[in-house]
Amino acid sequence: MSIVVTGATGQLGRLVIDALLAAVPAESVAAVVRDKEKAADLAERGVELRIADYDRPETLAEAFGAGDRVLLVSANEVGRRVPQHTAVIDAAKAAGVAQLAYTGVLGGDEADFDLAAEHKVTERLILDSGLPYTFLRNGWYTENYTANLAPVLAHGAVVANAGEGRVASATRADYAAAAAAVLTGPAEEHLNRAYELSGDVSWSFAEYAAEVAAQSGQEITYSNVPAETHLAILTGAGVPAPFAEILVDVDRAVEHGALARRTDDLSRLIGRPTTPIAVTIKAALDVS
């Protein structure tokens, strides 16, 4: 039996591997990756590499074994996730895995924004498969906002169409630690249940702008703009129109409270408070 992480060279997947290696021997961890060379550092740490591709279902036949505990990290190609996830689910069922954990989105079936649609379909496919499951419904990553502070600092503004909506975000490392806890803890505690994972504290964009200003020493304001204006700003800056539309729709969801939901699921699973946004902003400024 192995603990298997798909998408293991991605931003979240690598952090899950890190958290697993802090808890269990490397020989019990396997990484499903497309590119062996990209995962060479994982192999050097003792992680077993299983080469497979979401888009080539036949390659997934050897990715999982009977009794494996598997984390399906959601694919990052919006619009293609359902067939990709279906291929993983089918392979996991054929192999007889003991647990299939899936990184979905906060709110599950109640999430009413466009980006949630493929997650909801995937959860239904997992339920229909009959596999023992754990749904890790991740809220927003703080790094979605802090990863690229350059435009904020350059223009002195946080621009969004989120109104006074709030976001209960946490870091990728927080969510990765929760996934590792679910994969290494007693299976009976985590099977066939959903966790609503979010930060301990929610924040508004005005508060976010104020924190960036305080830490950077620059004047930063929050500019709340109509959705159409925000879309034009994003596409004008080179963001592809389909992705820009997703970002604008997420802000609409924020305004309506979809990402402000707070539970103690995340902090309880990781055994500590979630990372404050001020800490993540500092780390981003330190490398900017």
Instruction: State pLDDT tens for residues 159-208.
Output: 999 999 999 999 999 999 999 999 999 988 999 999 999 999 999 999 99
Fold of 3-139+172-197: Rossmann fold (3.40.50)
Q: How confident is the model at residue 77 (pLDDT cuts 50, 70, 90)?
A: confident
CA distance 73 to 150: 28
Q: What is the DSSP-derived secondary structure letter of residue 237? A: T
Q: How confident is the model at residue 226 (pLDDT cuts 50, 70, 90)?
A: very high
| Numbered ranges of CATH 3.40.50.720 in the chain | 3-139+172-197
pTM: 0.96
CA distance 35 to 285: 32
Backbone angles phi, psi at 96, to 5 degrees: 80, 45
Q: How long is the chain?
A: 288
- Sheet-wide strand order for 133-138: 48-51, 29-33, 3-6, 69-72, 99-105, 133-138, 193-197
**Does residue 288 carry a pLDDT above 80?**
no
The confidence score (pLDDT) of residue 261 equals: 92
Helix (H) or strand (E) holding 135: strand 133-138
Instruction: State pLDDT tens for residues 27-41.
Output: 999 999 999 999 999
The confidence score (pLDDT) of residue 105 equals: 96
Fold of 145-166+200-261+273-287: UDP-galactose 4-epimerase; domain 1 (3.90.25)
> What is the number of helices (H) and of strands (E) in the chain?
13, 11
- Return the sign of the alpha-carbon dihedral for residues 152, 154, 155, 156: positive
DSSP 155-217: HTEEEES-TT-EE--B-HHHHHHHHHHHHHS-HHHHTTEEEEE--SS-EEHHHHHHHHHHHHS
Q: How confident is the model at residue 78 (pLDDT cuts 50, 70, 90)?
A: confident
The confidence score (pLDDT) of residue 86 equals: 97
CA distance 100 to 97: 7
Instruction: State pLDDT tens for residues 117-161.
Output: 999 999 999 999 999 999 999 999 999 999 989 999 999 999 999
Q: Average the pLDDT over 50-77 and give the result.
A: 94
| Numbered ranges of CATH 3.90.25.10 in the chain | 145-166+200-261+273-287
Return the amino acid letter for 101.
A
